[in-house]
Amino acid sequence: MKQNPLDDIVLSPAPVLSKECEPIEKIDSDVKALAKRMLKDMYAADGCGLAAPQVGVSKQLVVIDVDWSGRGSSKNPYVLINPKIITADGEERETGEGCLSFPGITVPVKRPSHVVVQAKNLDGDLMQYEASDNLLAVCLQHEIDHLHGVTMIDHLAPSERVRALADYQAALDAGARPGDVEVED
């Protein structure tokens, strides 16, 4: 049976998206299979990152590829297991963020511009990632938020959040799918 990878992605307001995720104790074949499935879903949706709760699994695993720009471009996937933000500082920057769990909307989110993250890779090596003023800096913070039950709209002021949720509902009603950042009128 062929399944559309986009159907694997959990949409807001699924309860799994607002839960604290469990750390991964052992990098076994299940964890490797989960990473593979998430990368497949992320590339299918043309996303630059995906967190395990977005496929319904409440575990601390994130996949990221900020070099991927669609079919034909080269892939440079990162798999982050139990990632921790060691430093988040630098001037705050506002970026228009999208999320595969909120198809059809882009919202302005302010975050620190510099971040240092430590995480294990699939081989169990502890890796350090540092990013400043770029998509990776935003993506790391956005995806790690997901592991703690936080989504991009939680960063908005209450009135902005209400508006974003209304836009999201309208986008869903218009048939938005994961990876759509804006719905054509």
Which stretches of the chain bind Zn ion, using CB under 5 A? 99
CB 117 within 8 A of CB 149: no
At 71, phi and psi to the nearest 5? -45, 130
Residue nearest to Zn ion (CB): 99
For residue 127, the cross-strand partners are: 119
Kindly tell me which of 99 and 136 has the beta carbon lying closer to Zn ion: 99
Residues with Cβ within 8 Å of 71's Cβ and at least 6 positions away in sequence, in order, are: none
- Sign, Cα dihedral of 77, 79, 84, 86: negative
Task: Choose between 17 and 81: whose C-beta lies nearer to Zn ion.
Answer: 17
Catalytic annotation, residues: 143
Q: How far is the CB of 64 from Zn ion (least distance, A)?
A: 11
What's the min distance (Å) between Cβ of 31 and Zn ion? 20
| Distance in Å, CB of 69 to Zn ion, minimum | 18
Q: Which is nearer to Zn ion, 99 or 119 (CB)?
A: 99
In the complex, minimum distance from the CB of residue 99 to Zn ion, in angstroms, rounded to a whole number: 3
Residue closer to Zn ion, measured from CB, 10 or 116: 10
With b meaning 16 or more CB within 10 Å and e meaning fewer, what string describes 70-96? eeeeeeeebbbbbbeeeebeeeeeebe
